Chains A and B, each alone.
Chain A
Amino acid sequence: SQTIHQWPATLVQPVGSPLSLECTVEGTSNPNLYWYRQAAGRGLQLLFYSVGIGQISSEVPQNLSASRPQDRQFILSSKKLLLSDSGFYLCALFIGPVAFFGQGTRLTVV
């Protein structure tokens, strides 16, 4: 069965610092991968999705970027974090019509 690994679980970063969150998956090949953000008082917002290596689609213009260097690796990055980047970041994949989520990374920008 598929497994989604996200790290780190929690992260506190100062404003203006860079960011790199990694998501790796096991037990499936060529998955569609997604990055969501859950901010306080808001629903989950789709940030990026990828249907294959090097293919990234952005849903919301923002301070973040994503890359997919390998089939089972999806990375969320920022060159300079903003306070508004704080939130809970979730990586997800689809097996057919069913979505599976990682355990998330809690990012606090101070």
Chain B
Amino acid sequence: KQEVTQIPAALSVPEGENLVLNCSFTDSAIYNLQWFRQDPGKGLTSLLLIQSSQREQTSGRLNASLDKSSGRSTLYIAASQPGDSATYLCAVLSGGGADGLTFGKGTHLIIQP
């Protein structure tokens, strides 16, 4: 059974810093890995999706990498801003595909102004 772990569980940094969020998964037989953002009391917004054949994806100040063989992904946020404060969730799509995503518990990020 796929398990996803995110480290750290919480992170608080001053504005402007670059930071890295970590995600690991136990079964490397994945179709893709997706990073989401969740604001308090809200649904999930997809940030980046990395197919199993890809190594990284970039969107603006966000860069996600994938090392499928070692079961790891990182989300890099450059020049952090207070608006980046949210919970970031990592999820993998594995198995037959139709049974959905397996999520980590998330990293709660606070960017101090």
A61: chain B residues at CB < 8 Å are none
Residues on B with beta carbons closer than 8 Å to the beta carbon of A44: 89, 91, 101, 103
Q: Which B residues have a C-beta under 8 Å from some C-beta of A?
A: 4, 31-32, 34, 36, 41-46, 49, 51, 89, 91, 93, 97-106
Residues of A in contact with B, size category: 20 to 34
List of A residues within 8 angstroms of B101 by Cβ: 44, 46, 92, 99
Distance A46 CA – B97 CA, assembled complex (angstroms): 13
The verdict on A90 contacting chain B, using a C-beta distance below 8 Å, is yes
Q: Is A101 an interface residue (CB 8 A)?
A: yes
> Which of A14-22, A67-75, A102-110 lies at the interface with chain B?
A102-110
**Known contacts A42-B105, A43-B106, A51-B98; A97 and B44 CB within 8 A of each other:** no
Per-residue 0/1 for A41-54: is the Cβ within 8 Å of any B Cβ (1 yes, 0 no)?
11110100101000
Of chain B, the residue at the smallest CB distance from A43 is: B105
CA distance A41 to B10 in the complex (A): 12
Q: Does A32 contact B (CB under 8 A)?
A: yes
B42–A46 touching, CB < 8 Å: no
Instruction: Kindly list chain B residues whose C-beta atoms are within 8 Å of the C-beta of A42.
Output: 105
